[in-house]
Amino acid sequence: MSSPLRIALIQINPLVGDLDGNRRAIADRCRQAAAAGCGLALAPELALWGYPPRDLLLRPALQQEHDRQLQRLADDLPGGLQLLLGVSEAGAAGCHNAIALVDGRGWRIVARKRLLPCHDVFDERRYFQPGAAACWLDLPLDAATERGSLRLGLTICEDLWVVPGAAGGRGGAVDPIADLLPFGVDLLINLSASPYGRGKPRQRQLQAAAAARRLSTPVLYVNQVGGNDELIFDGGSFVLNADGSPALQLPRAAEALGIWTVGEAAWAASPTVDDPQQELWQVLVLGLRDYARKCGFRSALLGLSGGIDSALVACLAVAALGPGRVRALLLPSPHSSRGSVVDAEALAHRLGIRADTVPIAGLMEGCDTSLTPVLGGAPRDVTAENLQSRLRGTLLMAVANQEEHLLLATGNKSELAVGYCTLYGDMNGGLAVIGDLFKTEVYALARWLDSDAAKGDRARCGLAATGALIGREILDKPPSAELRPNQKDSDSLPDYATLDALLRRYIEDHATPEELLAEGGDPALVERVWLLLRRAEFKRRQAPPVLKSTGQAFGSGWRMPIAAGG
């Protein structure tokens, strides 16, 4: 009697469009799987492309190269190992998001994705045609003699998100899980490229557990990991038993190879993340690290103001890149408090990063001199405040250009939402690291980072494991842009707890002012925040990419018109 089948879950971090490099990464993991006695390996959705390939899929030459790399993968596959991986299939009927079975004899398409997401950041109907029927495969247990087989139900990412009654299930006329019921599958496999969102790892497991119970079969879920542009894929691949209980859990935010033996129901999990702040920290570090690495940057630069936002971004940058690859500029104006300068210097010292001070008072005077004849007087009010921000942005861009740093924007989601930010000033940069965190969430993550709960993560990132990183001086300071004497954010905005609650309803829940008024909202505040949100759209359209960590970020999934009524 043959021994039970061992299956490898390959959790890789691909570079989008690097067909050769991604093929080599998969092949390396396949060799490890074969050495561990596995007969089947699973790799994520569109594994050779990396997800999302977007309009790269529209280039015929790249599709031809994709198929060549798929054949090379078949040629290099260790004997006795079969591989299921996500691929694109181009044909006369259009292109499909598909699964290929690869072995020493070559490769063939065995499944096509049936549900094509077209919401938020997804636009798969632009590229793919949906699969027409339930997808299953009889896999020989002994590839050499083809004696005995397992029937595998095959699904791709969104195909899993239709289970009735499960949190997050999207429903619809097509139900790929129900369509598998008549075929009596022994295992359900889902190959995914599912980007991170807060609460989403738990939702995935609920969806998979519901599918396991519907089909009375274990579920093997393989997810991509790594940052690709604004999206962060958190990995967290897993195996569930037929009753929905966990059998194997791969780590989040890291590449991994997990091995599960068919019929093995014992819990054999890697450590999981239960703390939402720890989970958020890990994915933001991963997203920043990969954005820099995959875009060819070896170092990062940011403006350090002594405030909470730039302090948190500095910590994330050091965790992602190391202190020797992070540089900061302090850019004080005559309105900058001595405390803010001292706090920024102390933070830079604690992080071990180079920080240079470049005062902008002389530049401000030069702008006043140049503009007075044109304006009939020196710039004043918001114009004068924005000039300070733009002078800082210009200096930061100059150093970033000269020294080839990735400039990090330090604005948060609250500011981007209401336009409390300056075009060509503090919005300058190649990446908005915390642009999907409301101000209250910035404070929450910063407080966690300074707590004992963060010791392990800080140590793993090369940060001091004990003692404050951000410090009470910054955490307890009233938020201020310091663009005029004694300025506070509260001069222009509601307190952030109130503001963020309204913004979350508008942005993430898509609520209307009428709905908020019906819930008892203050009419003047509801209308004011609504107008601020709408009027700032032109700024957001020109903002740097925002690392996405919620269900609705200001990025490719936010498609509001700039000029609009209603």
CA–CA separation, 191 vs 214, rounded Å?
19
What is the DSSP secondary-structure string of 90-125? EETTEEEEEEEEEETTEEEEEEE------STT--GG
Identified catalytic residue from 30, 38, 45, 367: 45
CA–CA separation, 203 vs 208, rounded Å?
9
**Which DSSP symbol is given to 195?**
B
**Which DSSP symbol is given to 546?**
B
Which residues, 6 or more positions from 461, have their beta carbon under 8 angstroms from its beta carbon?
A: 285, 318, 319, 320
CA–CA separation, 461 vs 387, rounded Å?
37
CA–CA separation, 487 vs 502, rounded Å?
24
Contact by Cβ (8 Å): 73, 105? no
Strands 106-112, 94-103: pairing kind: antiparallel
Q: Which long-range contacts (CB under 8 A, 24 or more apart) does 449-457 make?
A: 449/281, 449/312, 449/315, 450/475, 453/275, 453/277, 453/278, 454/277, 454/278, 454/281, 457/278, 457/281, 457/282
Of 545, 9, 7, residue with least CA distance to 224: 9
Compute the chain's Rg from CA coordinates.
Answer: 26
Q: Is 45 a catalytic residue?
A: yes
Reduced to 3 states (helix: H, G, I; strand: E, B; else coil), residue 128 is: coil
CA–CA separation, 224 vs 226, rounded Å?
7
Give yes or no for a cis peptide into 53 (omega within 30° of 0). no
Identified catalytic residue from 30, 89, 113, 441: 113
Q: Which long-range contacts (CB under 8 A, 24 or more apart) does 169-178 make?
A: 169/207, 169/210, 172/115, 174/114, 174/115, 174/130, 176/114, 176/115, 176/134, 176/135, 177/211, 177/214, 177/215, 178/214
Reduced to 3 states (helix: H, G, I; strand: E, B; else coil), residue 427 is: coil
CA–CA separation, 372 vs 379, rounded Å?
7
Residues 124, 125, 131, CA angle at the centre, nearest 5°? 90
Sign of the Cα torsion 340, 452, 415, 503 reads negative
Q: Which helix (H) or strand (E) holds 339?
A: helix 338-351
Q: Which two tokens stand for residue 176?
A: 């790929």
Identified catalytic residue from 30, 38, 135, 157: 157
Which of the residues are catalytic? Answer: 45, 113, 157
